Each structure stands twice: as structure tokens, then as C-alpha cells.
Amino acid sequence: MIRTSIRRAVVPGIAVLALALTGCGAGNSSDSGSDGGSGGDSLSGTLAGGGASSQDTAQQAWRAAFQGDNSGVTITYDPVGSGTGRDNFISKAYSFAGSDSYLSDDEGQLSDAKERCGGEDAIEVPGYVSPIAVIFNLPGVDSLNLNAKTIAAIFDGKITKWNDATIAALNDGVDLPDTAISPVHRSDDSGTTQNFTDYLNKAGEGAWKYDADGVWPIKGGEAAEGTSGLVAAVKGGEGTIGYADESQAGGLGIVSVKVGEEFTAPSAEGAAKALAVSKPVDGRADVDMAIDIDRTTTESGAYPVLLTSYLIACQHYDDANEAALVKGFLSYIVSDAGQQAAAEQAGSAPLDASLSQQATDIVSAISAK
């Protein structure tokens, strides 16, 4: 696809969710992408996509493998953030988008995407499931235990010192310095922010008064663009705290969050457990696998600060080659081979086989009009 102007700014257990989603397929699966390949050199051309920066590491692995099997194909993925990715998909600058939050009916995104797709409901399938790590930079401290209420108070500016009594009570024996806390948030419209604020809102016991939103709801404070920008900002300061896809959180302190009576560190397994107890969003089209994450689960080992990053595309495209490229690449991503590649490269939670098949049934039906 020729690019137009771009606006810039699992593991066992998921089968429970897969069964809940049974019947949402759109057409029979084909062999395209089922084994990680898509017909050798039969595909050619350039495919443009972009969006969620959380997917960036996984996208690098997916593109390398898919282009290796299809030497005539070039795939680009711009990690510009979920909001810009959705906008660029709707404007047809991208053939597909990655988004850490599903299309919102309230904000008109579903109807805009439907119009972009010629009056048909847009495809929306999970492709990347990963924990969001609460990260911090505090010399001498590598890990902390925090509950959602305390995290909310920190990011809302109500707790301002690292040795605050509320933090100390959750971390007996940890030598906490009298250092100012400097929260860092995303400056762009971010699906990671959407998921993080959803967690604070639902699990924060009233300490977070804002609705879930991809745009950070508090004015002021330190802001950084994209996952890599936020991580760099946290690393570049002292006393800083932020939130980012766990795959890019290396070298920083990590928060274990309270789930039930336990404190749980971010992990692919924990994200998978939280996903397993979550439910599909009501009232969505058969080609839309949007999931409502259970942020207040008390399931042992579950990690509810996670994102389910979606692949957004059309069921039909005007151009037959564009349709073939989107179908082939997305089929690879949701296949066992694609999910394993992301798990190895980015530490994500692979989709359960049944959920992967559900997504495969939907994307394998993509075709030209």
C-alpha cells in the first residue's frame, strides 16, 4: 500500500475466555499463516501499519519472520501510539493498526472505522497480551510492594515522598529514602495509559477519581512520548515512577501489586491468568473480539495490570494485493508460530490455542471486495 500523510503526535487458562467467545468467528480458517508462512514468494509489495508502541518489540520479530518467508514483502510498523494508530487506520494511511485499547463506541471510533471499511464492521482481534509494569528509579531499591490505592495516590500527587508511611507500611524492612516522588506519564494518546488508568479507576478503592482514558487526565507533571520515551524519562531521573509494557522495563525497579492477600510481580503467566477470568465486551460484532479486563480479580497469581493489544483491520479491501498482505501478516501474528515468536522476543503471553483459532478464523476471511 502507498502510504499517505500520517498524523503523528498464553498459557493454559485463557481457554476459559476462548470458550466464552465461541461463535464469534467470521469464515473458515485457511492455511495462510497457519504455519508461519504465507505462500513463499507469492506475496509482494509494501504493507504499512502502526500504532501501539507496546507491540514494537513483538512487531520487530513478526516482521522479520514474515518477510523472511516472503522475500517480496516489506512491512512497516510505526510505534506512534494507539490513538494515532487508530486515526491513521481510519484515514487509510495504514492498512492495519495496533491498539492497546479496543475501539470505543462512546468516542465514535467504531462508526469511524466502519465507515473506513466501506460500511462493514472493522476486524478487531487480540494479537499481543502483556503485563504493564509499574516502574521506578530509586537507588538502592529494586522492588516494592504497592496496592492499587497507593499507586493511585502516588500518580495523583497525594503521596509525594518515597518514605511516606503508607508506602513504608507495605514494605517492612525496606530502607526508603526521603526522596521526592516524580510521576511520569505518557504525553501521547496511549492504549497503555487507557489500561493503566482503567486499573487505577476500578481497583483503586476510590483514590483515582478519573475515568479510564488514553490521554493522561491530570495536567502538569513530567510527560514523555511513547513507551521508549517514558522508560527513558524514568531512567533519567531519580525518584521517578511510571508505567510501561513489561518487555521494555529492564534495568528499573519493579512494583508487585496486591491481588487478594498476595503481592504479584508482572509476568506473562500472571497476565494470562487475569485474562482468563475476563469477559468479552457485550454487544460487539462477530468480527470484534474486544475483552473487558477484570481489574479487581483476587485470583492467586493473576496480574491485573495488563494490556490486550489488538490488531485492527477491514474485512475487505479495494485492492486485492493489500487484502492478501493484511490477511497473510495478521494470520501469522495470531498463529502459534507468531505468538511464540512474540513470547520469546517480548515476553508476552501467547494466546491460548482456542483463542488463537478464533482470531485466525476472523482474519483468514479477509479478502478483496
Q: pLDDT digits over 177-193, tens only?
A: 999 999 999 999 999 99
With a CB cutoff of 8 Å and minimum separation 6, the contacts of 237 are 137, 182, 184, 222
The Cα 33–Cα 296 span in angstroms is 36
Over residues 285-291, the mean pLDDT reads 96
* Whether pLDDT at 6 is above 90: no
Q: Quick: pLDDT tens for 29-44.
A: 333 343 444 444 489 9
CA distances to 123, 140, 160, 254 from 143, rounded to whole Å, are 39, 10, 18, 5
Q: What structural domains does the chain harbor?
A: 15-130+280-293+308-368 (3.40.190.10), 132-271 (3.40.190.10)
Q: Is 301 left (phi over 0), alpha (psi -120 to 50) or beta?
A: left
Q: pTM of the full predicted structure?
A: 0.81
pLDDT above 90 covers what percent of the chain? 84
Over residues 89-111, the mean pLDDT reads 95
**Which band of pLDDT confidence, cut at 50, 70 and 90, is reported for residue 295?**
very high
Over residues 276-280, the mean pLDDT reads 90
Instruction: List 144's β-bridge partners, or say none.
Output: 255
Burial of 149 per CB tally in 10 Å (0-12, 13-18, 19+): middle
The Cα 366–Cα 357 span in angstroms is 15
**Which band of pLDDT confidence, cut at 50, 70 and 90, is reported for residue 353?**
confident
- Report how far Cα 308 is from the mean position of its chain's Cα atoms: 4
